[in-house]
Structure 1
């Protein structure tokens, strides 16, 4: 495969997972050593409670030329850490593409060359995501993940079946950092941006060391964050659905009145009781419709975080671990 890339940056958000990262970087260096590409690694330290200097990193790599840590002022979560990292790279580092991956080993280093190949096949015009065909989580997680994907499709009209693991060519990076939606959810925000993207099939890897900081609450929050990117679309769809319910309620009231007046099928008191219930249903649905309408309109006037403009507010310092430690 002919490569159109001379240099790439690998962006990895980290929260206290330095032990896994140190092993991951060794594996990454081995996988990329056969490629004639200049590789830099940018670690976004999401306000870790354990500092990076407490862990051992290789004194010399064959392929990785630079290891830079961008330290955040507060814990933002992986999605916002990615947004800050992308904006930092776009503003400060010259490269042909950025690879986004997790630092725990679940995104496999051997898939990075495949992402690079696919990106080159697309002539550096498309973001390439890694789509996991096989997952290693529990059956309970798989069921909830399937429900999440179906809910996302129904509420937004779009499909989402990939996570953070991806490669972004410079052409797309310069545009992506001006997409406010990636602040809440990287993959969902990119879909919303209408930037072109494609996929490769991969298998999920296994955590290298330690335990995941993500619990069930965090997973639910992550799913809701992806939906929040489409709050106007979801609000509009729910509004239309509410109006349909109101129309059905009015139609049923008309049917009840017709039965009461035109037939002898009515049971004494049933028409009044049924119409009362339907009126209550219509009143509640109308209230929900109005709330949805004002929520959608209000969300359009809210101040949004723009990564390319606001990322500097969240960066406390950046420093090199490799080739040498030098604090700014």
Structure 2
């Protein structure tokens, strides 16, 4: 009796990527031809305003392995990935971006590791074809994230493979401010990294702006660490100790050397510093409250307009 072929679901969020979809599909199809597993390609149209949806429908008409989830609007990159994960029913699920920075050929490495028994395989990027500034920002983010996280956070993005056992646990997580690489680490199971070279984006115009990257980083910091919540307490203790020390120093200078406290510029500077810190921490607390606000509403993470299979 012939053994049933394993199924691999490839989940790809799409936002205004019309120009690259044909090339991406062609490269994915070649990867599928090189393997014995059954493949499906799940494209999640995250509110594209160009011709991405029409191009995907064209690909779907040519190859029924191409599945389309058309979201009602743009729900964000992480929520679009979540929609694809929820739809996938493969024995393994691969997450990747559509812009060719994640190279389809690296999927072969993930599948080899999966067949060795690993349940999570993530891409470890040897190099990035981005500006020096952006590369430095990414490195600083990953270093800080790994340092303050409550879990063993891997230096990796979304590109990688999850076994269906891991995917089933991922589907149980409903939090709104999502950082999927962190959730993948948090779930656990047998994980390993595979070194890959980051490709160049096809049009050199990144969809993720610095602000969006900042929001994603903040979601990661607040989801997997309580350091930011405890920071005001620790800083308050330090400032109180410094204030007490300054009082002692001023007293000593006045009593023993007859030198009075310094003038108003130093006083104003200290007041402004403390006021700035107060506003910063009020804003930080507000960010955490806003996350609680959205969680208790229990709104769906995404809304599907239509599926094409």
- Superposition deviation, residue 34 in structure 1: 2.6
CA distance in 2, matches of 1:254, 1:37: 74
Shift of 1:202: 0.4
Q: How much does 1:80 deviate?
A: 1.7
The 8 Å contact of residues 100 and 167 in structure 1, kept in 2 or not, is answered as yes
Tell me if 1:113 matches 2:108.
Answer: yes
Matching residue of 2:214: 220
1:128 aligns with 2:121: yes
2:293 counterpart residue number: 302
Q: List aligned pairs for 1:2-81, cutoff 5 A.
A: 6-49=6-49, 50-54=51-55, 56-57=58-59, 66-81=65-80
How far does residue 48 in structure 1 lie from its aligned partner after superposition?
1.2
Q: CA RMSD in A?
A: 3.6
Find the counterpart in structure 2 of residue 145 from structure 1. 138
Partner of 2:260: 268
Which residue of the partner structure matches residue 99 of structure 1?
A: 94
| Structure 1 range deviating more: 6-15 or 131-140 | 131-140
Distance change >3 Å, CA 280–CA 192, structure 1 → 2: farther
CA, structure 1 residues 282+242, in 2 after alignment: closer, same or farther (shift >3 Å)? farther
TM-score by length of 2: 0.81
Per-residue CA deviation, residues 101-124 of structure 1 (Å, 9 max, x unaligned), is: 111211111110111122232343
Partner Cα separation in structure 1 for residue 116 and residue 176 of structure 2: 25
Q: 1:250 aligns with which of 237, 244, 247?
A: 244
- Equivalences, count: 304
Aligned partners of 1:195 and 1:228: how far apart in 2? 23
In structure 2, how many angstroms separate the alpha carbons of the residues matched to 1:122 and 1:240? 44
Separation in structure 2 between the aligned mates of residue 237 and residue 4 of structure 1, nearest angstrom: 54
3-state SS of the aligned residue for 1:189?
A: helix
**Deviation at 1:305?**
8.1
Deviations 1:155-201 (A, max 9, x none): 54664521110111111111112234574322133334556532111
Other-structure match for 1:316: 305
**Cα pair 2:148 2:225 within 8 Å, conserved:** no
User: Aligned partners of 1:232 and 1:109: how far apart in 2?
Assistant: 36
Label 1:83 to 1:243 Cα distance change in 2 as closer, same or farther (>3 A). Answer: farther
Partners of 2:239 and 2:284 in 1: how far apart?
Answer: 16
Distance change (3 Å), C-alpha of 1:208 and 1:191 = same
Following the alignment from structure 1 to structure 2, what is the Cα–Cα distance between the partners of residues 293 and 204? 34
Query: Deviation digits for residues 3-53 of structure 1, max 9, x if unmatched?
Result: 997111000000121331221121112123232111111110001122533
Give the direction of change, closer, same or farther, for the CA distance of 1:100–1:300 in structure 2 (3 Å limit). closer
Secondary structure of the residue that 2:47 maps to in structure 1? coil
Structure 1 pair 286–16 and aligned structure 2 pair: CA distance change class (3 A): closer
